[in-house]
């Protein structure tokens, strides 16, 4: 396999230093000069110079440049007769190190992603560093900076929810640093993403409810706030109605569920959201089913139904995205995301980008409908009596 460009640049400079082309104290080409000469990004040329610095072949002086180090401090050696170039991990003792920024993870979503990435890291003799950002953009910026300072070879990012992406992500794009997004993509950003086909998944879930005879389906969601996964699920919800010729009644939507957001996950907010759902069901007694944007919202809906004296699924069907498989635990009918596969693909794409190989701009995986205990054929409910 062809060596990555940064290793070839490293090898060329190393041999020039060891063969005397550059003498002790001489300035070697800068990141920009190397990038122009080899027609690569500055992040690539920077990595080559960092490898030379690790082997003490050069000394990097901020604001001045890089200079050939004293021979007594060198650990580098010329390429062997085969012409092969040792990989970074083999030379410095550091195996590929990939950073993961994830808003949070739980038994229903996120843990599977991490498992998939960790298995891929083991398979490729690499390591994974995980840091949660709790959906806080400032934590996200701080973590990106910190992981870059640690010298990670690439980043996997589940972006914080919000209208704007942070400046550090834009810098990664401009610097052509290897990174991919998971779970969602960012508008206006040219970056690879691996996620579920959310629109198709939501459409599949609503079509399933239609087959059970439900026509008045409520929607429970956090504010979309330009979060692509949420927007796409709403799109699938609407599309399913349109194709069936059923009008979408937005009065049945409750789009201000906050307690499931990483930044607002408190008992107080959970109580408030249950009260919102109870009031929503009282105002709309013709609702026979609820489409919950995620598992934790489905739990809120079930608690609200119970407090109103309604049975699930006898009086009210509930469907959601994701549901942990725990023996003895109530199982919701849900759209199961292929989390481990998403994690595996994300990790492998990072390694490909690290080696300057092309990857798809967007990869989507199908959500799988899993029937559980929370849905049944539509029937008259107690809602009208509440």
Position 77 pLDDT exceeds 50: no
Beta strands in 73-126 (DSSP E): 97-102
Nearest to 258 by CA among 297, 202, 292: 297
Cβ 135 vs Cβ 261: under 8 Å: yes
Residue 112 or residue 54, greater confidence: 112
Looking at mean pLDDT, say which of 56-65, 226-235, 305-314 comes out highest. Answer: 305-314
Say if strands 289-292 and 217-220 run parallel, antiparallel, or are unpaired. parallel
What is the spatial distance between Cα 244 and Cα 37, in angstroms, rounded to a whole number?
Answer: 59
Q: What pLDDT score was predicted for residue 74?
A: 53
Share the mean pLDDT of the chain.
87
Confidence of residue 29 (pLDDT cuts 50, 70, 90): very high
At residue 349, does pLDDT exceed 70? yes
pLDDT attached to residue 290: 98
pLDDT score for 381: 43
Residue 94: what are its φ and ψ, rounded to 5°? -100, 120
- Count of helices and strands (H, E) across the chain: 12, 15
Residue of 78 and 60 predicted with greater confidence: 60
Task: State pLDDT tens for residues 228-268.
Answer: 889 999 999 999 999 999 999 999 999 999 998 877 888 89
Give the Cα separation of 244 and 330 in Å (integer).
30
Q: Which residues pair with 321 in a beta bridge?
A: 335
pLDDT band at residue 72 using 50, 70 and 90 as cut-offs: low
Give the confidence band of 305 by pLDDT, cuts at 50, 70, 90.
very high
The domains found in the chain, sorted by start residue, are 5-92 (1.10.10.10), 97-196+339-366 (3.40.50.2300), 198-337+370-385 (3.40.50.2300)
Q: Is the pLDDT of residue 307 over 90?
A: yes
- What are 3-12's pLDDT values in tens digits? 678 888 988 9
Question: pLDDT tens-digit profile of 177-236?
Answer: 999 999 888 777 778 999 999 999 999 999 999 999 999 999 999 987 667 889 999 999
| Residue 82 predicted with pLDDT over 50 | no
* pLDDT at residue 294, as a whole number: 95
pLDDT in tens, 141-183: 999 999 998 889 999 999 876 555 778 888 888 888 999 999 8
Dihedral in degrees, nearest 10, Cα atoms 149, 17, 41, 86 = -70
Percent of the chain clearing pLDDT 90 (strictly above) = 56
Q: Which two tokens stand for residue 305?
A: 């139904």
Predicted confidence at residue 88, as pLDDT, reads 38
Q: What is the predicted pLDDT for the residue at 173? A: 86
Which carries the bigger pLDDT value, residue 342 or residue 382?
342
Query: What does each C-alpha distance from 331 to 298, 305, 314, 327 come to in angstroms?
Result: 11, 16, 15, 9
- Name the more confident of 333 and 45: 333
pLDDT at residue 312 in the model: 96
Angle between helices 111-123 and 339-354 (to 10 degrees): 40
The dihedral over CA atoms of 221, 224, 228, 232, expressed in degrees to the nearest 10, equals: 50
* Predicted local distance difference test score (pLDDT) of residue 186: 76
88-136 residue pLDDT tens: 333 344 689 999 999 988 888 899 999 999 999 999 999 999 999 988 8
Does position 62 have pLDDT exceeding 90, yes or no?
no
């Amino acid at each position: 396999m062809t060596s990555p460009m940064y290793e070839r640049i490293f090898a060329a400079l190393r041999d020039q230093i060891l063969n005397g082309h550059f003498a002790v104290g001489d300035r070697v080409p800068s990141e920009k000069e190397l990038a122009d000469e080899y027609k690569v990004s500055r992040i690539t040329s920077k990595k080559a110079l960092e490898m030379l610095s690790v082997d003490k072949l050069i000394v990097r002086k901020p604001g001045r440049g890089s200079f050939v180090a004293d021979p007594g401090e060198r650990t580098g050696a010329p390429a062997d007769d085969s012409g092969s170039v040792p990989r970074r991990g083999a030379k410095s003792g550091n195996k590929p190190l990939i950073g993961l920024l994830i808003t949070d993870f739980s038994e229903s979503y996120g843990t599977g992603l991490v498992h998939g990435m960790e298995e891929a890291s083991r398979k490729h003799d690499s390591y994974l560093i995980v840091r949660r950002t709790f959906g806080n953009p400032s934590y996200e910026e701080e973590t990106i900076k910190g992981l870059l300072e640690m010298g990670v070879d690439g980043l996997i990012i589940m972006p914080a929810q919000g209208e704007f992406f942070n400046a550090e992500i834009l810098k990664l794009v401009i610097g052509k640093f290897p990174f991919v997004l998971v779970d969602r993509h960012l508008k206006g950003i040219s970056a690879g993403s691996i996620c579920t086909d959310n629109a198709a998944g939501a459409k599949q879930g609503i079509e399933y409810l239609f087959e059970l005879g439900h026509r008045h389906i409520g929607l429970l969601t956090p504010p979309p706030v330009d979060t692509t996964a949420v927007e796409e699920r709403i799109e699938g919800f609407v599309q399913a109605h349109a194709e069936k010729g059923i009008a979408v009644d937005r009065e049945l939507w409750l789009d201000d569920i906050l307690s499931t957001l990483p930044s607002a996950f408190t008992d107080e907010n959970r109580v408030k959201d249950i009260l919102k759902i109870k009031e929503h069901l009282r105002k709309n007694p013709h609702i026979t089913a609820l489409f919950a944007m995620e598992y934790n919202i489905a739990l809120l809906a079930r608690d609200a139904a119970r407090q109103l004296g309604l049975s699930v699924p006898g009086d009210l069907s509930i469907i959601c995205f994701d549901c942990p498989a725990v023996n003895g635990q109530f199982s919701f009918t849900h759209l199961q995301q292929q989390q481990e596969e998403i994690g595996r693909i994300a990790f492998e794409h990072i390694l490909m980008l690290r080696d300057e190989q092309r990857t798809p701009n967007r990869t989507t995986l199908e959500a799988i409908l899993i029937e559980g205990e929370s849905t049944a054929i539509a029937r008259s409910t107690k809602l009208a009596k509440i």
